[in-house]
Amino acid sequence: MRVKRYVVNALPEAVSMIRMDLGKDAVILDTKEIKVGGFMGMFRKKRMEVIAAVETGASKQGELPQRKPSPEVNAVVEQILQTAQRSGAAAAVMEPPQPQPEPTISDKRMEREQFIINEIRDLREYMVKLSRHQSELHTLSEPMIALKERLFEQELDEEWSDKLIEALRESEQSAERVYDRTEVWNESKRILVEWIRPYSNAEISREARVVHFVGPTGVGKTTTIAKLAAEQTIKRGRNVGFITSDTYRIAAVDQLRTYANILNVPLEVVFSPMDLPKAYKALSERDLILMDTAGRNFRSELHVSEVISLLQSSEPNETVLVLSLTGKTTDMAIIAERFSKFGIQKVLFTKLDETTVYGAIMNLVLKYGLYPTHLASGQNVPDDIERFKAGSYVDLLLGDAEHE
Ligand SMILES: Nc1nc2c(ncn2[C@@H]2O[C@H](COP(=O)(O)OP(=O)(O)OP(=O)(O)O)[C@@H](O)[C@H]2O)c(=O)[nH]1
Ligand SMILES: [Mg+2]
């Protein structure tokens, strides 16, 4: 299907343009009055936005998009609801029965009917949402549909892709024309970079003497600490020391010790918060201490508060949450929320090389106000890590306009 948007003075003007562009089989999907141009919200001109579409060769005749599916959907569901209401179940919805000491057969029937009514209501909400989504798609230009699909595949929250589409439409209105694919991509990049820029260019604080790394099991905390030790030593000229509190896993201490030996960095092992002062004392000559912690199931609030209690320090310190991009977006959001409640603001994403889906970064940054410091993209120490840059990140998220 080809979809095109026209901004005209009156409908007849659009009809002749549609005939010329899309042919005689084209249908008008939507029309609405819009305001364009002007200065600071004043002197805006009234125009008409017309969305038209035509089925391309591959589709069969008679499968043209429905103009307004939602009223029909609503009507069907309404009918089901009314039938249920006539059978007396509606009374159960309006006035739920007071709990009786011994439920009778009719109480049980009412309960069942109420359950069915609620199911139908949920179904109606879902169908209304679905048809709204479909009719929204029908009002979008082809490049905008392609953009929305790309962002959906990238698992960007709908909240942000909707906002982006809204901003693009406003931009088109000011420009008084419909953007082609390259323009949609370029303008999207400009807008997304603007959103994420305030959170980019974060780095390991130059003021912090102790930096703790926390995160779920196996995300790459220990490997990342080794990479950052090299970065901080070589690029920042800082004198680095390691502490690890990961004494849960048998080989964990040895793993960090191997890196410590290669990088010539002293390592202290702590078994409980009581060992920390001794470890800080042993590393008193070091101006940056990177502290490794054990990976835990941080969907559990208990584990989060346990690790937080270990991170108390009288030294200037900060905590970096390490998350792997191979994790599920919903799980990452739960973990980010748990840690952001404790004031953790920095995040570092690993395993960029193992995925092609990048929306989670934007979702977490914008929702929880997290500052990404780096992106890690491989197992090589110290090379596979880079500072987070808004522009290159948005390029990854949007991909190439022509290939989408
Ligand atoms: N592909 C890829 N692998 C990585 C990356 N970072 C770490 N790894 C690998 O992920 C595995 C786990 O890394 P660790 O550094 O041990 O992870 P951890 O978070 O310390 O694990 P726990 O201490 O067990 O919670 C290792 O095989 C690393 O080489 C990365 O950016 N990309
Ligand atoms: Mg580890």
Least confident of 5-19, 187-201, 319-333, 363-377: 5-19
Query: Residue 143: is the preceding peptide bond cis (ω within 30°)?
Result: no
Looking at the DSSP assignment, which residues form a beta bridge with residue 319?
212
Gap between the Cα atoms of 188 and 182, Å rounded: 10
Gap between the Cα atoms of 17 and 180, Å rounded: 17
**Interior angle at CA 117, CA 158 and CA 159, nearest 5:** 5
Whether ligand 1 lies within 6 angstroms of the CB of 252 is answered as yes
pLDDT at 293 over 60: yes
Ligand 1 nearest atom to the CA of residue 376, by list position: 31
Ligand 1 nearest atom to the CA of residue 255, by list position: 16
pLDDT at 361 over 80: yes
Ligand 1 nearest atom to the CA of residue 292, by list position: 20
Gap between the Cα atoms of 98 and 79, Å rounded: 28
Gap between the Cα atoms of 34 and 18, Å rounded: 19
Among all ligands shown, which has an atom nearest to the Cα of 214?
1
Whether ligand 1 lies within 6 angstroms of the CB of 323 is answered as no
Gap between the Cα atoms of 90 and 121, Å rounded: 12
Whether ligand 1 lies within 6 angstroms of the CB of 221 is answered as yes
Whether ligand 1 lies within 6 angstroms of the CB of 380 is answered as no
Rounded to the nearest whole angstrom, what is the distance from the C-alpha of residue 324 to the centroid of ligand 1? 9
pLDDT at 225 over 90: yes
- Pocket test residue of 217, 223, 347 for ligand 1, highest count of atoms within 8 A of CB: 223
- Residues 175-190 have pLDDT tens digits of 999 999 999 999 999 9
pLDDT at 96 over 50: no
- Residues 320-350 have pLDDT tens digits of 999 999 999 999 999 999 999 999 999 999 9
**What residues have CB less than 8 Å from 338, skipping those under 6 apart?**
298, 299, 301, 304
Whether ligand 1 lies within 6 angstroms of the CB of 376 is answered as yes
Mean pLDDT of all residues in 81-96? 46
pLDDT at 147 over 70: yes
Task: Give the helix/strand (H/E) hosting 2.
Answer: strand 2-8
Q: How far apart are the first and last CA of the chain?
A: 16
- Cα torsion angle, 11, 17, 19, 22, sign: negative
Gap between the Cα atoms of 92 and 88, Å rounded: 8
Q: Which residue has the higher pLDDT, 224 or 25?
A: 224
The average confidence (pLDDT) of the chain is 85
Q: Which residue has the higher pLDDT, 44 or 400?
A: 400
Whether ligand 1 lies within 6 angstroms of the CB of 69 is answered as no
Tell if the pTM clears 0.75, that is, is over it. no
Whether ligand 1 lies within 6 angstroms of the CB of 351 is answered as yes
Q: Which residue has the higher pLDDT, 127 or 358?
A: 358
Least confident of 73-82, 165-174, 221-230, 345-354: 73-82
